[in-house]
Amino acid sequence: MRFLLVCGLLLAVGPSVANDTSAVLTTGGLEFITNQDIVMESEELFISKEEIRVVYQFRNTGEVDQNILVAFPMPDIVPNFWSPVAFPMGPDDNLFEFETTLNGEPVEATLHEYAYAFGVDRTKLVKQLGLPLVPITSAASEATDALDDETTQRLLHMGMVTPDEFDAGEGWEKHYWPAWTYKATYTWEGDFPAGETVEVVHTYKPSVGGTVAVSFLSEPFEDYDPAKEYAAKYCTDEAFLNAVKATLASPDDTYSAPFTESWISYILTTGGNWGGGAISRFRLVVDKGSTDNLVSFCGEGIKKIGPTTFEMVKTDFWPDRELDILILERREGE
């Protein structure tokens, strides 16, 4: 993430990368449950393009010690071979390089992963075909492209592959790349003693989407209005838009601003699965990465606390939407 200017960005509330929640494993997969005795006393959330770090303080307000299953859903990975998306590139068994500690001690988390296409769980089929569940690796691309024609047509019909035609200098070629969405959740068991506060810390690499140029200044077309969408999702107000327009190399070319876009989302709403629903104390810090960058996201009471960092602090915070962050990163030499 990187941004430079908060220009009246009112964090209208809310985020999207992942929040701890209590869970139960069933035969149908992972399901989230509510635990009324475990209260989230505080959450400290740090987000940058390079790292997400979350520090929780949980208190067991009940009279009985609890050992519960905790789940941490990760952002979906949606393949896009024509957009500069900075996907996390950790090992296949820990793509997000997820680490967690409980009261300072490392915890072994279990990874649950799935492949979806058009909202349908295709995990079993992907495994049957011997394809990697993570669709963004070269191994997945090579394996998908090597499938026989009948299987390829079947996957194309299901929306699980994307055709790509190009001429690399030796005539036109046609290839098929993975198009399924990768979903992952980490779970682990933790002891929450009655009447005590427990600290949980998560760190991992974010999934970052983006574009090669600023796209939200263009005129509406058909049923899509980019400016309206960005205003609703990232709270890009008039001051922010004017700051971007001031950098246009050509006033008539809405794509001539010297920035690329980066998008980061964080899931906050699952925090409501803890007792009371509200987070007693919530602190968000967003680091835009460089003083040359611009940043916009929704929220109330945001203030600048450093050359590249912005803070929002809330008490009795009840997240009712996800957090979406837009970072405009100035291209090198422009």
Phi, psi of 135 (to 5 degrees): -85, -5
- List pLDDT tens digits, range 115-131: 999 999 999 999 999 99
Q: What is the pLDDT of residue 219?
A: 85
- Where do the domains of the chain lie, and which CATH numbers do they carry? 21-122+180-330 (2.60.40.3680), 123-179 (no CATH)
Give the pLDDT band of residue 1 (cuts 50, 70, 90): very low
What is the CB neighbour count within 10 angstroms for residue 113? Answer: 17
What is the CB neighbour count within 10 angstroms for residue 224? Answer: 9
Q: What is the pLDDT of residue 6?
A: 30
Phi, psi of 324 (to 5 degrees): -120, 130
pLDDT above 90: residue 221: no
C-beta of residue 130 within 8 angstroms of C-beta of residue 203: no
- List pLDDT tens digits, range 15-70: 334 667 766 666 666 667 778 898 888 999 999 999 999 999 999 999 999 998 88
- List pLDDT tens digits, range 295-331: 999 999 999 999 999 999 999 988 778 899 999 999 8
Q: What is the pLDDT of residue 132?
A: 94
